[in-house]
Structure 1
Amino acid sequence: MKFRTFLMSLLLVFVFVNSGIAQEKITVWMTYGGTMGDVVSNLIKNDFTPKTGIEVEYVPMMATPDLMTKLILEIVGGNPPDICSLEGYQVIELGMRGALEKINQFNDYQDIIDRFYPGFSGQFIYNDNVYAIPGESSWTQSYYRTDIFQELGLDIPVLWTDLDTLVPKLKARGMEFYHENGAGYPRCYMTFLYQRGEDIFTPDGLSSNLDSPEAIEAFKTYTSLYTKHKIPLSMPDYQTFVSGEVPFMVHLHYIYGLIDRTAPQIRGKWAPAHTPGTIRDDGKISHAVPTSSFAYVIPKNTKRSLEKKEAAWEFLKWYTSPEVLAQIQEGFFEAPDKWVLFFGTKAGFESAKYYPEHRALIGEIFEQGVKMTSIPGGYSTYRYIDFAFNQVVLQQHDPEVALKKAASDSTAELERKRKEFARFLKDL
Structure 2
Amino acid sequence: MTDVRDDLNQVLDQLGQMGGMSSEKEAVIITMRDQLDSLIRNPELFSRVIDSYKMNVSALGTWIMQVIEQPLQIDAIYFTSPDTPAPSHHAGLFSKLAHEAKKLYYSFIIDYNVIGNVADASEQSETITVWIGSGRDQANVLKKLADENFTYETGINVNVELVDINTLLQATLAGQGPDVALGVANDWPMNYGLRNAVIDLSEFEDIHSIQDDFFESAWEPYVYQDNIYGLPETQTFPMMFYRRDILAELDLDLPQTWDEMKVALSVLSKNQMDLGMLPSEQTYSMLLYQNGGEYYEENGIRSAIDSEEGIQAFREFTEFYSDYTLDRETNIEQRFRTGESPIIISDFTTYNNLMVSAPDIRGLWGFTTVPGTVREDGTIDNTVTTNGIYMPDGRTSSTAAVMMEGTSSKENSWEFLKWWVSEEAQTAFGKELESLMGAAARYPTANRHAFENLPWPTRDYQALSAQMENLRGIPQVPGGYFTWRNVNNAFYRTVVNQNMAPREALTEYVRYINDEINHKRNEFNMDILTSP
Bin the TM-score by the shorter chain. 0.7 to 0.9
2:399 corresponds, among 294, 298, 323, to 294
Amino acid across the alignment from 1:81: P
Amino acid across the alignment from 1:241: F
Show the counterpart of 2:155.
53
The answer to whether structure 1 residue 313 and structure 2 residue 410 are counterparts is no
The answer to whether structure 1 residue 177 and structure 2 residue 275 are counterparts is yes
For residue 237 of structure 1, report the CA deviation from its aligned partner: 5.4
Structure 1 portions without partners, runs of 5+: 1-20
**What is the rounded CA distance, in whole Å, between the counterparts of 2:221 and 2:285 in structure 1?**
14
Any conservation in 2 of the 1:71–1:80 contact (CA below 8 Å)?
Answer: yes
287-296 or 198-207, which deviates more: 198-207
Amino acid across the alignment from 1:357: R
- What is the DSSP-based 3-state SS (H/G/I as helix, E as strand, rest coil) of the residue aligned with 2:303? coil
Show the counterpart of 2:55.
none
The answer to whether structure 1 residue 233 and structure 2 residue 325 are counterparts is no
Amino acid across the alignment from 2:169: I
Show the counterpart of 2:351.
256
Any conservation in 2 of the 1:26–1:55 contact (CA below 8 Å)?
Answer: yes
**What is the rounded CA distance, in whole Å, between the counterparts of 2:317 and 2:337 in structure 1?**
25
1:200 corresponds, among 284, 295, 305, to 295
CA-atom RMSD in angstroms = 2.1
- What is the DSSP-based 3-state SS (H/G/I as helix, E as strand, rest coil) of the residue aligned with 1:28? strand
**What is the rounded CA distance, in whole Å, between the counterparts of 2:495 and 2:196 in structure 1?**
40
For residue 252 of structure 1, report the CA deviation from its aligned partner: 1.1
For residue 374 of structure 1, report the CA deviation from its aligned partner: 0.9
2:254 corresponds, among 142, 156, 163, to 156
- What is the DSSP-based 3-state SS (H/G/I as helix, E as strand, rest coil) of the residue aligned with 1:238? helix
1:408 corresponds, among 511, 516, 520, to 511
**C-alpha deviations, 1:97-156, integer Å up to 9, x for none?**
221111111121011122111111221001101010011212111100122212221111
Show the counterpart of 2:432.
331
Show the counterpart of 2:491.
389
Show the counterpart of 2:102.
none
- In structure 2, do the counterparts of structure 1 residues 155 and 100 end up closer, same or farther at CA, with 3 Å as the change threshold? same
Matches within 5 A, 1:20-419: 23-62=125-164, 67=166, 70-85=167-182, 86-181=184-279, 185-236=280-331, 238-292=333-387, 293-301=398-406, 304-305=407-408, 308-338=409-439, 339-396=441-498, 397-419=500-522
**What is the rounded CA distance, in whole Å, between the counterparts of 1:290 and 1:95 in structure 2?**
23
Any conservation in 1 of the 2:129–2:161 contact (CA below 8 Å)?
Answer: yes
Any conservation in 2 of the 1:113–1:133 contact (CA below 8 Å)?
Answer: no
Amino acid across the alignment from 2:281: P
Any conservation in 1 of the 2:372–2:383 contact (CA below 8 Å)?
Answer: yes
Identify which of structures 1 and 2 has the higher relative contact order when contacts are C-alpha pairs closer than 8 Å and 6+ apart.
Answer: 1
Amino acid across the alignment from 1:254: T
**What is the rounded CA distance, in whole Å, between the counterparts of 1:74 and 1:35 in structure 2?**
23
For residue 369 of structure 1, report the CA deviation from its aligned partner: 0.5
Any conservation in 2 of the 1:23–1:53 contact (CA below 8 Å)?
Answer: no
- In structure 2, do the counterparts of structure 1 residues 79 and 40 end up closer, same or farther at CA, with 3 Å as the change threshold? same
Show the counterpart of 1:12.
none
Any conservation in 1 of the 2:278–2:327 contact (CA below 8 Å)?
Answer: no
Q: How many residues align?
A: 394
Any conservation in 2 of the 1:25–1:56 contact (CA below 8 Å)?
Answer: yes
Amino acid across the alignment from 1:54: I
395-404 or 164-173, which deviates more: 164-173
Q: Percent identity?
A: 29
- Tell which structure's C-alpha radius of gyration is larger: 2
329-338 or 87-96, which deviates more: 329-338
**C-alpha deviations, 1:157-211, integer Å up to 9, x for none?**
1111222211121122222211134xxx333211100112221211431111121
Show the counterpart of 1:10.
none
**What is the rounded CA distance, in whole Å, between the counterparts of 1:334 and 1:424 in structure 2?**
51
Any conservation in 2 of the 1:180–1:249 contact (CA below 8 Å)?
Answer: no
Show the counterpart of 1:16.
none
- In structure 2, do the counterparts of structure 1 residues 323 and 155 end up closer, same or farther at CA, with 3 Å as the change threshold? same
Amino acid across the alignment from 1:349: F
Provide TM-score, normalisation by structure 2: 0.71
Any conservation in 1 of the 2:295–2:474 contact (CA below 8 Å)?
Answer: no
- What is the DSSP-based 3-state SS (H/G/I as helix, E as strand, rest coil) of the residue aligned with 1:175? coil
Amino acid across the alignment from 2:189: V
**What is the rounded CA distance, in whole Å, between the counterparts of 2:298 and 2:254 in structure 1?**
34
Show the counterpart of 1:11.
none
- What is the DSSP-based 3-state SS (H/G/I as helix, E as strand, rest coil) of the residue aligned with 1:135? strand
**C-alpha deviations, 1:19-52, integer Å up to 9, x for none?**
xx99511111112213222222221222222222
Any conservation in 2 of the 1:22–1:53 contact (CA below 8 Å)?
Answer: no
Any conservation in 2 of the 1:180–1:252 contact (CA below 8 Å)?
Answer: no
280-289 or 223-232, which deviates more: 280-289
